[in-house]
Amino acid sequence: QGEPGAFSEAASRRVNAEAELVPCKSFEDVFAAVESGAVVFGVLPIENSIGGSIHRNFDLLLEHDLPIVGEVEVPVVHHLLALPGSTLQGITRVYSHPQALAQCDRFLRTLTGVEITATYDTAGSAKMIADGKLRDAAAIASARAGELFGLSPLKSSIQDFDGNVTRFLVIGRE
């Protein structure tokens, strides 16, 4: 699930570094792709050491008859990313996935006059800022997302705890 540069991509690469990855916009789309046979496996976040359980994926596991065939843990380091030349003082909006926002709550509370908006994906937030050339906006995402979309870190390692880890499940048809 997610754009290239999402933590799900990092998890997928840990499962199989050589796999052809197929990004999906939503968790539901991952289940549908596996069920239809469009992909062999799906990789989904299930639990984060700071943000807790990803309840939607527990629900989807119950709704679909797809077994869990593996799991992988990925260290998660969040960066506040913006267009080159942007400054922290010039940021009025921050975008990211709700889990990433929860994992960076302490940092976000230090920002004044900044609108925090939940989006479908960490890397998707970075892509949105790059595509829209949004000079007053920043995304919370991975360093790889910053590299892929030409964004610079305004602040690095902004998660509440250094040992931030997300556990991902691998689902398949058999």
Confidence check: pLDDT of 118 > 90: yes
User: Phi then psi for 127, rounded to 5 degrees?
Assistant: -60, -40
What digits encode the pLDDT tens for the residues 35-80? 999 999 999 999 999 888 999 999 999 999 999 999 999 999 999 9
The residues, any chain, with a CB within 8 Å of residue 81's CB and separated by 6 or more, are 126, 129, 138, 139, 140, 141, 145, 146, 149, 151, 152, 153, 154
Q: Model confidence at 152, in pLDDT bands (50, 70, 90)?
A: very high
pTM of the model: 0.88
Alpha-carbon torsion (155, 158, 162, 166), positive or negative: negative
Tell me if residue 160 falls in helix, strand or coil: coil
Q: Model confidence at 139, in pLDDT bands (50, 70, 90)?
A: very high
**Is 168 annotated in the active site?**
yes
Please tell me which residue in 7, 27, 31, 166 is annotated as part of the active site: 166
Confidence check: pLDDT of 147 > 80: yes
**Is 112 annotated in the active site?**
no
Confidence check: pLDDT of 12 > 90: yes
Tell me if residue 114 falls in helix, strand or coil: coil
DSSP 48: E
DSSP 140: E
- Helix runs in 37-90, H state only: 55-63
The whole-number pLDDT of residue 110 equals: 96
DSSP letters along 12-34, please?
Answer: HHHH-TTPPP---SSHHHHHHHH
Mean pLDDT of the chain: 95
Confidence check: pLDDT of 108 > 90: yes
